[in-house]
Chain A
Amino acid sequence: MARRRVRGTKGTTINAAPAATSAGVEALLLAALARGDGSLETGRYLVTYKEGAAPEGVQSLKARGLRVADARDFTESQVGIEDVGDADALNFPAIGVALVGGASMQARGLAAFEASADSPIETIEPEYFAFAENSEYLRGFLRAASTIAADIGAGGSGAAVADDDDLEAQVLGATWGLVRCKVPPSTRSGLGIKVAVLDTGMDLGHPDFPGRIAATASFVGQPVQDLHSHGTHCIGTACGPKAPAGSTPRYGIAHQARIFVGKVLTNSGGGTSGSVLAGMNWAVANRCQVISMSLGAQTGVQAAYTAAGNAALANGCLIIAAAGNAAAATGAPANSPSIMSVASLDPTLAPSAFSNFGKVEIAAPGRDVFSSVPRPTRYGFKSGTSMATPHVAGVAALWAQTSPSLRGLLLWRKLQATARPLPFPVARVGRGLVQAP
C-alpha cells in the first residue's frame, strides 16, 4: 500500500488571505510579507499525482468542483500563471502536477483532497517562492550566513564561504563604508532631521526599522512596499539602526533620523523624470532637510531637475544624487548644478571603475555595500553610485543635526569642506571622501 502523504501549511491550516491561482508573483509576495510569519510559502499548493495517474488526477480535481485550466491549451504550453483567469487550478500534465490556489483549497476543503490508497493524488504541498541563484537575495543570504558562522566560530568544511575582505570589517561591528566615513565614532544620530529617500520604496515590515518610517508616498501607482530591494538597501545605508539584532554589523548612518519613503520607481526599477519630480515636490513640501536620490538617466542636464534643486535649496533642503555607473559623464539629475553629485569609491578608496565622472562634488563607499533588503532575506550586498549616495545623505543628516543653520547650500559646503581629500582628480572624486562629524 502506498504511503499516504498529505501536507498543508502548518497541518491543515490555510492562511487567512488565500492566494488565487492566477495571482502574480508581486501580489503573492505582498501577501506573504503581510502575513509576517517569515515563511517562504506563496499561499498556493502543488498537487502531485501518482506516477502514471495524471489523467485520473485531473479528473479527481474536476470531480470536486475545481475549474481546471490545462497548460496544453496554451501555445507551446507557455502559460503564465496570470493567464489562467478565474480557474481554480492549473494542470501541468507533462510533469504530473497541478497548481491550486489557496482560496480554492479552502473553499473545497483540504480534507476533500486527503489521499487514500485508491486516490490518484500522491501529495499536496505548499508552493514556495523561488529566487534566482545569482540574485542579490541569495547572495546576501549566503554572505550573512557566513558572517554569522564566522561570528559564532562555526568551523567545518561547509563554513568556508567567506572570501571577501569586507567580511573582516563586518565582524568588527560596522561595514567598511561606515568605518571609512568615520560614522561609528560619531556621537550624532540625525535626531530631528527628516531624510527622504526617493527610490523603489521600502520593506515597511523590515525588523530593523520599527517606528522609523515618518511618512510614505507612492508616485508610480504601486504600493510603497519594496519588491525590488534597491530602495530598502539605500534607506538602510542612510538611516539604518545603530545596533542591528544579533551579529549583523552596523550598516546604517542616521539611526535616529525620520525616514520619508517616496516610491518614484516601480518594482521593476523604472520610472520617469515626472515621477521623480513628484517625489521631490513631496519631500520639499514636507520640509525634509535631506533628499537622497540613487537614480538617474544618462542624459544631459534637465531643466526641471535644476529648478527643483534650486527650490529645495531655497527651502533648506539639500538634494544628493548618484552620478551614475556608465563610466561616462555624470547623468541627470546629478548633473544639475543645484544637485549634489556623488561618485563611488572601492574599499581601497580608489574611484570605482564604473563610477561616472565630470560633475562630481563628493565621493563615498559604493562597492560591495552591505545593507538591508526586503524580507525574507533581510540583508545583502550591492554596488554602484546608488550605494554611495545614501552614505552622503546619512552623513548630511548627522551634520544637519549639529546646527540648525546647516541647511541647503551651507550643508552642501560643510560636507565638501570636511571631506577627506583623495589623490584623484576632482572630476572623479570631487572634494573627496565624505566624513561624519
Chain B
Amino acid sequence: MAKRSTSAGDSPSTWLVTLEAGARMGEVQAALTAAGLSVTSSLDAVGVIVGTAPTRVVPALRKVKGVANVSPDRPVSVGLPDDPETW
C-alpha cells in the first residue's frame, strides 16, 4: 500500500497537551519531544504543555505516559471594541 501523505497531516499546528494529575512535567515533556512535539511552553502550574506538531504524530503523543488529553488549540474572542455584545 502506498504511503499516504496529506497536507493536513504534514503542516504543523498547535496542540494543547493536558497531563494526568501527578504526572512529572519534565519527563512527559521529554517523551513528547521524542514523539515529535515541538514544545512552545510548559505550563507547570496548570499541568498543560503547549506545542506544535503535524497532525500525523498526534496518535503518538496521545500514547505518551502521563498524557491525559491532546486537543487542538482553539480561538477565543470577546469581539471587536465596537461590537455591541462581548463574550
Q: Which positions in A face B, CB cutoff 8 Å?
A: 132, 134-136, 199-200, 227-230, 264-265, 267-278, 280-282, 284-285, 294-297, 299, 302-304, 306-308, 310-312, 315, 322, 324-325, 331-332, 354, 382-387
Cα(A325)–Cα(B86), bound, Å: 7
Q: Which residues of A contact B12 (CB under 8 A)?
A: none
* Known A-B contacts A276-B76, A277-B48, A278-B43; A132 and B82 likewise in contact (beta carbons under 8 Å): yes
15 pairs from A and B in contact (CB 8 Å cutoff) = A269-B78, A271-B75, A272-B73, A280-B45, A284-B45, A294-B86, A294-B87, A296-B76, A302-B71, A302-B74, A303-B16, A303-B18, A304-B69, A307-B47, A308-B48
B45 touches A324 (CB 8 A): no
Cα(A322)–Cα(B48), bound, Å: 22
A312 touches B82 (CB 8 A): no
Q: Which residues of B contact A269 (CB under 8 A)?
A: 77-81, 83
Contact of B78 among A199, A285, A315 (CB under 8 A): A199
Cα(A277)–Cα(B29), bound, Å: 17
Interface assignment of B19: CB less than 8 Å from any CB of chain A: yes
Cα(A200)–Cα(B48), bound, Å: 22
Q: How far is the CB of A431 from chain B (nearest CB, A)?
A: 22
Across the A-B interface, the 10 shortest Cβ-Cβ residue pairs: A303-B69, A281-B43, A308-B46, A384-B86, A386-B86, A285-B45, A284-B45, A304-B16, A269-B78, A274-B73
* Known A-B contacts A281-B45, A294-B87, A384-B85; A274 and B50 likewise in contact (beta carbons under 8 Å): yes
Annotate B43-79 by CB proximity to A: 1 below 8 A, 0 otherwise: 1111110100000000000000000110101111111
Q: Which residues of B contact A284 (CB under 8 A)?
A: 45-46
B46 touches A307 (CB 8 A): yes
Cα(A282)–Cα(B77), bound, Å: 20
Q: How far is the CB of B44 from chain A (nearest CB, A)?
A: 7
Q: Which residues of B contact A199 (CB under 8 A)?
A: 78
B71 touches A304 (CB 8 A): yes
Q: A230-B81, A269-B78 are in contact. List 18 more A-B contacts (CB 8 A).
A: A135-B81, A230-B79, A270-B75, A270-B77, A274-B16, A274-B41, A278-B41, A280-B46, A281-B45, A294-B87, A295-B77, A297-B76, A303-B18, A304-B18, A308-B43, A311-B45, A311-B46, A311-B47
What's the A-B contact tally at a CB cutoff of 8 Å? 139
Q: Which residues of B contact A306 (CB under 8 A)?
A: 18
Q: Which positions in B face A, CB cutoff 8 Å?
A: 14, 16, 18-19, 21, 40-41, 43-48, 50, 68-69, 71, 73-87
B86 touches A307 (CB 8 A): no
- Identity of the chain B residue whose Cβ is nearest the Cβ of A226 in the assembled complex: B81
Contact of B68 among A281, A297, A307, A325 (CB under 8 A): A307
- Identity of the chain A residue whose Cβ is nearest the Cβ of B50 in the assembled complex: A274
A322 touches B87 (CB 8 A): yes
A297 touches B14 (CB 8 A): no
Q: Which residues of A contact B85 (CB under 8 A)?
A: 325, 354, 383-384
Cα(A429)–Cα(B18), bound, Å: 31
B48 touches A272 (CB 8 A): no
Contact of A277 among B21, B43, B68, B80 (CB under 8 A): B43
- Identity of the chain A residue whose Cβ is nearest the Cβ of B79 in the assembled complex: A269
- Identity of the chain B residue whose Cβ is nearest the Cβ of A312 in the assembled complex: B46
Q: Which residues of A contact B43 (CB under 8 A)?
A: 277-278, 280-281, 308
A295 touches B78 (CB 8 A): yes
Q: How far is the CB of B51 from chain A (nearest CB, A)?
A: 9
Cα(A295)–Cα(B78), bound, Å: 6
B14 touches A274 (CB 8 A): yes
Cα(A383)–Cα(B79), bound, Å: 12
* Known A-B contacts A277-B48, A284-B45; A271 and B87 likewise in contact (beta carbons under 8 Å): no
Of B73, B85, B86, chain A has the most CB atoms within 10 Å of the CB of B86
Q: Which residues of B contact A322 (CB under 8 A)?
A: 87
Q: How far is the CB of A204 from chain B (nearest CB, A)?
A: 18
Q: Which residues of B contact A136 (CB under 8 A)?
A: 81-82
Q: Which residues of A contact B78 (CB under 8 A)?
A: 199-200, 228, 230, 265, 269, 294-295, 386
